[in-house]
Amino acid sequence: MQQDTKGARVSFRIENLEAALEQGIDNEAAALDVLVAAAAKGNPHPELWAKLHEAAARHDRFSELAFAYERFASERRFGMLPQAAQAEVLVHAAEFLADSFGDPGGARPYLERALSVLPSHQEAFVRLERILKEANEPPRLADLYALAANHRPDRAEQLALLRRAYELVEASGKEEERAIKLLQQILRIDLGDAAARWALEARYARAGRLQDVARLLEQALATDPPPADALEIRARLIDLYSGPLKELERALPHVEEVLAQNPAHEGAFRAGEALLGRKTALVRAAAALEAVHARRGRTQEAARMMSLQVENLRGPRRVEVQKRLVELLFQKVGDLASAFSLSEQILAVDPSDEAVRERFVALASALDRRVDAARVLVRASSGAKEKPLRARIAAELGELYEGLGDGRKARAAFQQALDGEPDAVAV
């Protein structure tokens, strides 16, 4: 037998193989050698593989060709072929067993091996998919889809395969961790897939993986979701951070955003009030709650939030809040004395705001504290660095002294204004 094989191998060439197959062949191994050698060089010759299978069927040599495929695929030299050639041979073996020999079960190992060698082989994928569907093996079919997704260059194809795999696993209802991994893969490709995100969130929650839920929702925000979705995501994060995760400070940016869009959101409001007890978050929480109270017409509460900010801020930011508080006290609350006192504090730090000075003088007149106001403006003038500003304050002092009936001080103040590089306002 070995002698015949060698003789056949010598006589076969790719050029005369078709004619030999037409006549009939009793040495399938030799024919395989010729076809494999051509495939290894990049010449697949699919028509000759088909004729080999037809010859085996015509001459009732199914078993012989099946054995030749099996033996060749197990030889060491087979593993030395290029991966593409190995995959082609294995797929042809599967094709013969399934289509000609009527043995899809026997074809399956060849297809699985072909995909392990070359996972991107499309025909191997299609054939194995069909076999697994007919065999009703959803778990193995899900494996096939997940494997294929990793080797598809097109993002849409990857997602379609992963979603099919997830649907199969979900239908089984048995493989929770596997379902989680598939959803994670889907979201790594398309973080904007809301359906996958909600499904993964639900599975994390059932498993008690609340940190993973929070991480997932934070990642979802980074995709710039529609405003309504973003609001819902932030609300869920507030519930997590202020509740079971006990990481209240991490809720702060979400509290700010939710209250800015929906001042009536009770969960965000409660979290904001709780944040007032955290020194590192107090100022921002108070600012968010200030806006809520102002929009709801709760003037006293808005003033309280501003006062908290003033107590905990320094520099220009403190001054800006003080200015808002003065406006609120004057316009809404009617607490002129507090507004006057705050204005004095502002002018001690920043005398340059003309509106603040004007309001301060008006408050002084209403409270009959123009003498006190004059003392404050004198200090403000001496503390001003720019000459034009000093001149403007001196001119305002002159008007104030005139109102008090102190002509001498009024003239001195006006003269100081004229001597101090006055601008058009001071003049």
Confidence category of residue 422, pLDDT binned at 50, 70, 90: low
- pLDDT of amino acid 421: 61
pLDDT at residue 9 greater than cutoff 50? no
Cβ atoms 255, 238 nearer than 8 A: yes
355-411 pLDDT, tens digit per residue, is 999 999 999 999 999 999 999 999 988 888 888 898 899 999 999 999 999 999 999
pTM (whole model) above 0.75 = no
23-51 pLDDT, tens digit per residue, is 877 888 888 998 999 989 888 899 999 99
Mean pLDDT for all residues in the chain: 91
Confidence category of residue 5, pLDDT binned at 50, 70, 90: very low
Which residue's structure tokens are 């080999």? 52
d(CA 28, CA 65): 6
Q: What is the mean pLDDT of residues 142-164?
A: 95
Determine what percent of the chain falls in helix, strand and coil, rounding each to the nearest 5. 80, 0, 20
Provide, rounded to the nearest whole percent, the portion of the chain with pLDDT above 90. Answer: 76
285-304 pLDDT, tens digit per residue, is 999 999 999 999 999 999 99
Say what the alpha-carbon torsion angle 10, 11, 12, 18 is, to the nearest 10 degrees: -170
Mark 276-306 as b/e (b = at least 16 C-beta within 10 Å). beeeebbbbbbbbbbbbbbeeeebeebbebb
Phi first, then psi: what are they for 424, rounded to 5°?
-60, -35
Say what the alpha-carbon torsion angle 120, 195, 197, 238 is, to the nearest 10 degrees: 170
Structure token pair of residue 248: 């209240």
DSSP string, 96-134: IIIIIS--HHHHHHHHHHHHHH-TT-HHHHHHHHHHHHH
Domain boundaries, the chain: 1-135, 137-223
1-135 CATH fold: 1.25.40
> 137-223: which CATH architecture?
Alpha Horseshoe (1.25)
- pLDDT of amino acid 150: 93
Question: What distances in angstroms separate CA 333 from CA 61, 241, 321, 345, one per listed residue?
Answer: 103, 36, 16, 19
Q: What is the mean pLDDT of residues 80-103?
A: 92
188-198 pLDDT, tens digit per residue, is 999 889 899 99
Say what the alpha-carbon torsion angle 275, 281, 282, 283 is, to the nearest 10 degrees: -140
- pLDDT of amino acid 6: 40
Tell me whether the CATH fold assigned to 1-135 matches the one assigned to 137-223.
Answer: yes
